[in-house]
Amino acid sequence: MPSEGERLRIVFICTGNICRSPAAENIFRHRAEAEGLLPELEIDSAGTGGWHEGEAPDARSAAALRHAGYPVDGFARPLRARDYGAFDLFVCMDCTHVREVVDRGAPRERVVLIRHFDDTRSHDDVPDPYYGGHEGFTEMIAMLEASMDGLFARVREELARKRGR
């Protein structure tokens, strides 16, 4: 079992950490467990703001996750100053998050946009479904799932680098 310092630390980022980033975290964690990579990873999610700190994922996001066969875990938290040096990969849901995370101090080479891992994408952002209906949450799950193969390829590269140290 890798020690904490040997694990690849990944954080998924959205605005309030109740819709997109916890969905991405739960999908990613589920797949990492299925692929046997979970012991090598530390997975978290956070928001650029702290409005929902301590809250469970939005009920519509949770319902969409459960409908797609994923567990629903976690509580909202904001990004904190210590996070910028602690995580190996910041996986952002939209371009505004990338800018904000880099501006706050995350190394640019560690900040990625999740949709860039989907070669079939028609746009770069996972739209915020918060102010819409249930269909927005279903579309969000589909976008996140479509990005997972590419994200896992990147994670495997990062893990190989860590193992090679």
Catalytic positions are 14, 20, 128
Backbone φ and ψ of 18, nearest 5°: -130, -10
CA dist., res. 95 & res. 101, Å (int): 10
DSSP state, residue 55: P
CA dist., res. 148 & res. 153, Å (int): 8
CA dist., res. 126 & res. 21, Å (int): 10
SS3 150: helix
Cβ neighbours for 51, distance < 8 A, ≥ 6 positions apart: 16
Give the sheet arrangement for strand 111-113, strand by strand. Answer: 41-47, 8-14, 89-92, 111-113
